Structure formats: C-alpha cells, structure tokens
Structure 1
Amino acid sequence: MFKTSLDKFTSINRIAVISDSALGFGSPDIIGLADGLCAHFGAKGILVQPDDLNRPLVDINFTADVRSVRLFSDLPTYTRSWRWNFFRLAARAVDEFKPDIVVVVGPNGYGASRALRHRPKLLVYYMLEMATTEPLYADLHKHYGNADIDAYIIPDIERHNIDFGNLHWRKDVDFEGIYLTAPINYPVPIKPRAADDRNGKSIYFGHIHPEETLLDNMLTPQLNDCEIEFFGRIGDADRGVIANRIASTPGKAYRGLQTPEDLADTLPRFNFSLVTWKPEGHIGRFHLPATKLYHSVLAGVPIIAVPNPLNVYFIRKLGIGLLMDGWSRRSFIESIQAAKAMIGSDAYRSMVDRCRVAAEGEFAWSRQVSRCAALVERALEKKWRRLYGPRKSQPALAANG
C-alpha cells in the first residue's frame, strides 16, 4: 500500500516514557499514560524510571507491549549527583531504543531529555511537577529552554502558566490538560461499595506531616468521636513520635504504607476521604492537583477537602464532597463533624452516586488517554507541515516599467 510522506511521519512504532520518580507506590498516571499510548497506537514501549532507595522494586503490569526499565543507583536519592547520573543513564536507555515518540515526565524527565542523542519525531513534556520549585530544576529549564519540545501534557493550567511565566518560555505551544485518574492499582479498576456498606469512618492516605498536611487539625480533641485512619509515609524526622501520637489519639489509627493493591481494596470501605494540605512554600502548592481527590472519587468515596482551587472547582461542579471554608482547626472540626452526621442519609447516598457519575464520565482514565493521543496526532501533523509541507509561494516581483 502506497504511503505518503505524511503517513510515514505520523506512523508510530515505538514510544519511550521517562518517569520523574520510581513507580509502584504512587503516580499510576505515568504507568497508565505509557500503557495507554502504546495500546492506542499499537506501538512497543519502554517506561524508564529512576532508582529510589526508599521505594522497593515492584512488578508493574501493562496491557500493551511495554517494558519497565528501572535504572539502578547506589547514590543517595534525589541528590544532585543522583539526578545527573539518572539523566545520563535514562538518555542512554532511550537512545538504544530509538523511539518515534518520547514523553518526559517532570523535571527529572526533562533533564534526561537534554542528554538524548537520538532525535525522536516528537518530544512531549508531561509537566506533572512544577519546573520552578527548586533552584536546580529552574536553572536547568532556563538554560535549555523549550525550543525542541513539541507538545505538553499538563494536570493544571495555573501551574503551567506560572512555570511558563517564570521561565520566559515561548507560549505558542500545543498542550492538553488531563486529570490524574489512572486506577491506584493500574490497570485493575477500583471497585466501589454501596453507600450503606461502609465502616462509618474517614480515611486519610498519602504523605503525612504535622504541618504540611495539617495533621494537627485532625488530631484535635474536639474530633475524638470522629474515627479517622491514616495510611502513608510520615514525612518528618520524628516518624515514630508522630505515629505514636496518632495511635494514642482517641478514634485515630495509623496503618502505615500500603501497596497499591491493598489500598485499592481498603479505600472503598470508608465513608469519607480527607484531602488536605497547607498551600505554603510555593505558589504551586496552592494549585496542586491532588491525586487523592481523583482516587477517592473513583472509589466512590466522597471527599472532605480544603478550599484549594481544584478542590473548589470539582466539589462545586460535581457535588462529590464537602468543602471546608478555610485551613483552620475550626474548619476541620465543623466539616468532619458535618460529614459524620451525613452518613446513612439520602444526601450522603446522593453524594456517593455523584462520585460514580464522575468516575464513569469526566474522570474516566480512557478519556485522559484519548486526549493525550489526540495531542500526539495533532502535534505530529503540525510538525510534518512545518518541516515538509508545501511552502507558500512567493509573490512575483513586479516588472520594472
């Protein structure tokens, strides 16, 4: 069958994704994106991820022909030397694979793309993390720029605008926004429970910190009669002290870090999910797209959330939870007590049903993959026209009279 130049250029046989972090205990959207794009285009793929001394190696499951490559390192995780070493090793792995499409995730993925020798048909930057939160990453992005990046996948438009403004990057770019709704235990979908088949408790899962995630507000004595279970890694030097403090607070329990499979089984048992963090330190934290919001809704668990912009947007638009009026202890007490009072009511059952509608519609992971695939197709055709398409004819010079 005859193929045109455009057909050949837009044909995709190999896709490489360079992850920003070690996978298996978070960021299922990176796994789902690599898998989904390869399935959509019928391509072979590799998912390159850095090593992390704090995250054990776990099996990653795909539905398409994708191979996971974790690059060993004995360097202290996330130090400057660890990062430069990952940039070099990741670029080498991608060079050997010779993909048509390269998707780089976050600042570490971007850094690896600077070391590539192979030139793919398309370079896509998945800006999962902000580029300007750390001086090293900000300097890296400012130095190399974005002239060779063909398209962008973004989880939040405000963070995207802040980064582009701070970096003084060109803004006439192709981008697509997505929600981080890949299943926790990708590719296995989470199974919600009926509204009346719950344990009467609230859950908090993810990063735990006395100040950053407002843990102190949840351990106040006024909430002793509201049961909350905590799952995740405690991000503080006094981990043991904080774990004991949670365990010694009436109505509270610390369950540690769970595997994605276990968390997917645990989450639907709860009536509410707490989505809380303190929006300080960097403007990006205010516009943070919290994956726990998406995962909770996919599990059919309404949220109790602080009023960061995306939380406000989704709760008001979709009716999937209760919105605090601030970050104060009073706001926590009033909202968590109101949530407890709702359990068993028609209003609660309606809220659970609205979570189902969102999960099956706007939050469906298949929709996010379709958006990304359409972006790739659009950017490929645009690049072909720029490189090989017909040139506009020059106006004829007027003859001298």
Structure 2
Amino acid sequence: MTIADTVFGYGSPQIAKLTESISKELQTASHILQPLVPERSVIDMNLSNMTLETVATSMHPYTIVGRSEYNDKCARVINAIRPDIVIITNYLLFDIIDDFKYRPKKLIHLALEDLEPILKARDASCKIERLKRQAEKIDIWLFPESNRAQYDTNFLGIRWEKVFVFYNAPSDSFVVNKDKNGRFIYAGTLNADLSIGKYIFDEQMAPYPIDVYGDLQGTNESINTMKGKWDHLKGLRRENRVKWHGQVPKITLDKVLPEYSFSLLLWLPVGHAFLNAAPNKFFQSVATGVPVISAPHPQTKMLIERYGCGLVLDGWERHQLINGIRKAKRIFGSSVYDEMLKNCERAVSTELRWSTQFGKFNKRFHVENWD
C-alpha cells in the first residue's frame, strides 16, 4: 500500500511506478491512497492489479487540519487491510506511522519532498524530534538526488545502508518526434519566489517562442505578481510569442511534449532542495527526445554533461536564461542538435530509464525475497 500526497495524473509518476514494480516482483495486488484535492480532477489511470482510492477530507488536504484528517483516514485503511509493504511519499505523512496497530514487513519512504518546510515551521524542534523517532521505523529510504540524501540522512541520523538514490526516471521507452515545432516548453511549478515563474512572464521573454504549462502557485503576492506580468504581456503592442496554457493533466502533456524543440528547467536556488533539484520534467523530456536547457542544478548539470542531452545555463538569472534560449535557437536544426537527439536516446538506453533504476534497487534490496 502506498500513501500518496498528490493526485495521480498531474505529477510524481514514480509513485505509481514503484508501487506497480514491487507488486509485480512479488506477484501481489496493491492499493494506493491519494487525497481529494479540490483543484485537481480525479483521473482514471487504468492501473493494472491496483486499487486507487481517493480519500476525501472536510478541509483542504494541504491545510494542517485537512492533512491531519487525511493521515487519520489513511491509517484506518492501513490497519484494516494490514498490508505487508507500506510506502510513504512525504515527511508530512509520517504521523501515520504512529497510528499503525501492527508492524509492516517493509516500511519505505519515497522521499520526493524535502525537510526544509518542516525545518522552517514554528514548532520545528518538536517536529524534528518526532521525525527522528518515526524515522527509526523506516526500513528503506529512496531519495531522487544524492546531495538531498546526504543532507537528510545526516540530519535525521539515518543509517546509510538503508538509503538508495533512485533517479526520477519513470519512463522505460524512448520516443522521439523529429518533426519539431521550433518552440520551447516549460511545464511545471509557476511560483515567483521559487521557480522560473520569477521570469517566464517578464516582458524581456516576449520575443521567444515559449509554451508554458502549469497553474500559478505560492503566496498571494507571488500569484498576483505573475498575473500582473501575464496581463502586461497580453497587452503588448509588439508580438508576444509566450503562450500560457494553464494546468493540464499529464496524459495531455505527454502527447504534446515530443513536438517541442527544447525543454526549460529552472528552480531558484533558495534552499538546499531547490538547488539540488531532481525534476521529473528533466527525465520526461530526455525520454521523449526533447533536449533540456537547465539551470546548473548539480544532478541535471552532471547528466547533461555526461550525455550531451541539452544545455546548462551559466546561472539562475533572467539574462542567463535568455542567453541559453538564444544559444538553443542557433543550434536548432543543425548537426549539433541532431547529435543532442541521439544523445537523449543514449542516455535513456544507458541509465535514465525506470527498468534500469528499479533493477539496481532490486539488486540492492532483493525485493523478490520480501515475501
């Protein structure tokens, strides 16, 4: 059983992939719990041999009250079914552990989110002490990035033999559309304080053919700032080539992604986890033959330089983003670009695919013996 903190079909595909892969390895059924989030429609994922259950709460599940209710309801389901393997996908769900009325054979933390929000909370010291106690019950820790793994293990006192770095590479196939549309895509979080949302709707971006997918997030100030910039872009007398498509389900994004020439990736380095980002969109883009233009986050920088599957920006500033876009426009259609497409395929066939990552995990922890 997996307890998710997101709605399926909008992101974090590795949650379903990990659940499915362990289930297949053990030839057993699985059960996934997800929250009912008002602004996210529930999508039929057609999951094989899996039960997907949506848990409703009286308050929004991302509020303190709503999250507590979600945790309580998930704990009840777990205690009723008593699954052998439980996967938890966020530190904010760890209180469920205290409500277990039995000991699962394997308790796994798929650490897709980081500790920083908890460290910044008002009662951080109490929460950290509780996390350290709860962490002792975790059998396996899966982190998407090595620096984040090192940070969390040091902070919580996790033994390294329980830790595995598992790239966010959910795809197993390589699909390339060589009939590119000549446009750039950004699909992900739009937050003026944390992401490319700080720049993407600036007037200086107007000359560049960028399609933006995602909803506005963050504080009211962040959302209002981006709304104001977007309204200004729409009102420009000269041509604005930036298009904002809003939030779309992953299935829709998967269909259009291969058409794009380059994929943009930039989180602002405002914290340890943001600097050491391990974004799904990097792996999804490479797996669909879309070279990535990334800020110099350590993991994406390393992989782009290792395989030659994109461009690394000189930094996180707007002018550095624009310089990267200009360079990409010069490369597009050339033999250098054709080589990038081949390198995307090489990266996927060599390392950046789910079966390779899960195979390494299986070799390390011998999933077939868990029953």
Provide TM-score, normalisation by structure 1. 0.83
Q: What letter is aligned with 1:355?
A: C
Please list every run of 5 or more consecutive structure 2 residues that lacks an aligned counterpart in the other structure: none
**Secondary structure at the counterpart of residue 142 of structure 1:** helix
1:199 equivalent among 168, 181, 184: 181
> Does 2:80 correspond to 1:96?
yes
- Which one-letter code corresponds to 1:180 in the other structure? N
1:68 positional shift:
0.8
Mark the CA change 1:270 to 1:342 in structure 2 (over 3 Å): closer, same or farther.
same
Task: Identify which of 131, 147, 159 aligns with 2:136.
Answer: 147
Residue 27 of structure 2: aligned partner: 42
* Superposition deviation, residue 96 in structure 1: 1.6
Gap regions ≥5 residues in structure 1: 1-15, 385-401
Q: Which moved more, 1:78-87 or 1:130-139?
A: 130-139
- The count of residues paired between Structure 1 and Structure 2 equals 358
User: Once the 2 structures are TM-superposed, how far is the Cα of residue 162 of structure 1 from its aligned partner?
Assistant: 1.3
CA contact (8 A) 2:107 2:139 kept: yes
Q: CA offsets per residue over residues 6-28 of structure 1, 9 Å max, x none?
A: xxxxxxxxxx1111322221111
Shift of the 248–198 alpha-carbon distance from structure 1 to 2, 3 Å rule, reads farther
Give 1:177's aligned residue: 165
Could you say which residue in structure 1 is the equivalent of 2:196? 214
1:176-234 superposed Cα distances (whole Å, 9 cap, x missing partner): 21111214xxx9x673202xx11111111111133422345445555543211111111
Larger radius of gyration: 1
Question: Matches of 1:245 and 1:216 in 2, distance apart?
Answer: 15
Cα separation, partners in 2 of 1:40 and 1:141, compared to 1, 3 Å? farther
Q: CA distance change for structure 1 residues 311 and 170 in 2, over 3 Å: closer, same or farther?
A: closer
TM-score by length of 2: 0.89
* Identity fraction in percent: 23
The root-mean-square deviation of aligned C-alpha atoms, in Å, is: 2.4
Q: Establish whether residue 251 from structure 1 lines up as the match of residue 236 from structure 2.
A: no
The CA distance in 2 between the partners of 1:364 and 1:318, in whole Å, is: 14
Greater displacement, 365-374 / 24-33: 365-374
- Corresponding residue for 1:69? 53
Question: Contact 2:87 / 2:109 at 8 angstroms: preserved in 1?
Answer: yes
Superposition pairs for residues 328-347 of structure 1, below 5 Å?
328-347=317-336
Contact 1:48 1:69 in 2 (8 A): yes
Evaluate the alpha carbon distance shift between residue 375 and residue 113 of structure 1 in structure 2; reply closer, same or farther with a 3 A threshold: farther
Aligned-partner residue type, residue 315 of structure 1: I
Asked whether the equivalents of residues 3 and 87 of structure 2 are also in contact (C-alpha less than 8 Å), the reply is yes
Cα 1:114–1:361, aligned 2, differ >3 Å: closer, same or farther?
Answer: farther
Deviations 1:286-329 (A, max 9, x none): 11111111111111100111111112111111111011111122
Contact 1:47–1:66, Cα closer than 8 Å, also in 2: yes
Q: One-letter code of the match for 1:93?
A: V
The reply on whether 1:81 has 2:48 as its aligned counterpart is no
Provide the C-alpha distance between the structure 2 equivalents of 1:17 and 1:100, rounded to a whole number of angstroms: 11
Q: Which residue of 2 aligns with 1:309?
A: 298
| Closer, same or farther: CA 80–219 of 1 in aligned 2, 3 Å | closer
